[in-house]
Each structure stands twice: as structure tokens, then as C-alpha cells.
Structure 1
């Protein structure tokens, strides 16, 4: 039985570990440089940086202060500040009402 559990754990896809909601801090950025995926960062796209979710993953982000949500595509790596789980593009941040504050408490979950 223990071997079956171990075998199942070893064959899980990385996305399986993110099937639940994760919460933490988020910030936004709008640099025009290349992202870790090789794309050019565009402040007008609904994209985000995450430390290890696969590029192309889509996540629904909810601002815990106002309940607004947005769906973004992961195309970069980061954030690299303790306590933050996502860096959002300016367009995504505007959609959930966090541009003026610069940061917000958010929760996110994989979609699609």
C-alpha cells in the first residue's frame, strides 16, 4: 500500500499541487523588457509572473479587499519579494483595482 501511495505521489503532475486556492501578496509591474518565457512584457496584456507555475498556465486572481477577479496567463518568473505570490501586468492590476495601492492581498487558482 505504501508503495502505491509513493508511486502516485511521484507521478503527479506539477499542476495537481495547485488545484486549490493559494493566497498571498501581489504587486504589479509594467517594464517593457523580455519575460522569462521570451515574450516582451506588455502592460496591456493580462499576464503575470509566478515563481514556478508552468508558462501558459491560466489563473483566476481575486483581490481579497474588493472581491474583483481577473484571469491571467503566466509568462514570467517572480515575484522575488517575501510574502508575494504574483506579479501582475498593469492591465490585470487595474482590472482588480490595485494600481493605485501598488500591492494587494490576493488569492489565485488554476483555471481551464
Structure 2
């Protein structure tokens, strides 16, 4: 069940994924890692070469699910970190003695 949730979660975040790739504040190594993971997942899905061949009914799909789930979980972790960073940047906190002023712009 966790694996299906990871896939659905990534699909919901696909727009954040592309924003992540376009963001100039994200370092290039992280972008390459994310794009590589995504590309490998797509290629593995459509490739006829698998750990377990697809023509073996039932078992052939299992390795696809495990590989894609691993990739989705890795990408979801990167995107979650990215979202957290964006949220922290958008909320600047200025402390003055006993007062806290929050700027939500």
C-alpha cells in the first residue's frame, strides 16, 4: 500500500517536480539526480529488458513496481525537502526583543 501511495504522491507533485528542475536556486547536481531518477524510471518501465521478464505473468510486473516505487520514494523525498525550503524562504521571521513579526510574503 505504501508503494502505491508513493506513486500517487509523486504524480500529484509532478508540477512541483518541473518547478524544481527550473528553479535557479536548486544546485545543478540535485537537478541532475532528480531528472536521472525520473528518466531511469520511465526507461525501465518501457524497456523490454527487466530483472524479471514481463512475459512471466504476474512476476514480470512485480519488479517494475518495486523499481518504480523506489524511484518515486527518492523523488518524493527530494520534492518534500524542496517544498520545505520554499516554505521557509517565504516565511521570514524578524525578532525584536519580545516581539515577533512574521512576514508571509
Q: TM-score, normalised by structure 2?
A: 0.21
* Higher-strand-fraction structure: 1
**Greater Cα radius of gyration, structure 1 or 2:** 2
Q: TM-score, normalised by structure 1?
A: 0.21
Q: Which has the higher contact order (CA 8 A, sep 6+)?
A: 1
